[in-house]
């Protein structure tokens, strides 16, 4: 299994009140959302969202950037309020 597969289920594991970091095995509360798109499997306007804690936001952005998938990183609260 690729790391992309193992990460892609992340946001679905969140509860109603807390958003947990998408990084596997991390239980920290997410503070960032990373918007990305894989042109091989998604239409250009589609956005997948990973959420990340402060510690892992940079790691995930780097991961997506290296694969040409990264679009945007936004504070989590801005998208919801």
- Interface residues with Zn ion (CB under 5 A) are 21, 23, 26, 28, 53, 56
Is the Cβ of residue 29 or residue 71 nearer to Zn ion in the bound state?
Answer: 29
Q: Nearest approach, Cβ of 5 to Zn ion (angstroms)?
A: 18
Which residues face 50 on adjacent strands?
A: 34
| Range 21-53 burial, b when 16+ CB lie within 10 A, else e | bbbeebeeebbbbbbbbeeeeeeeeeebbbbbb
Is the Cβ of residue 28 or residue 35 nearer to Zn ion in the bound state?
Answer: 28
Q: Nearest approach, Cβ of 16 to Zn ion (angstroms)?
A: 19
Which residues face 75 on adjacent strands?
A: 32
Is the Cβ of residue 20 or residue 69 nearer to Zn ion in the bound state?
Answer: 20
């Amino acid at each position: 299994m690729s790391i992309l597969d193992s990460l892609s289920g992340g946001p679905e594991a969140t509860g109603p009140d807390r958003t947990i970091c998408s990084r596997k095995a991390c239980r920290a509360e997410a503070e960032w959302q990373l918007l990305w798109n894989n042109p091989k499997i998604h239409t250009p306007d589609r956005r997948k969202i990973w959420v990340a804690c402060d510690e892992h936001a940079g790691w995930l952005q780097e991961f997506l950037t290296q694969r040409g998938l990264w679009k945007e990183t936004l504070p989590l609260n801005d998208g919801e309020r």
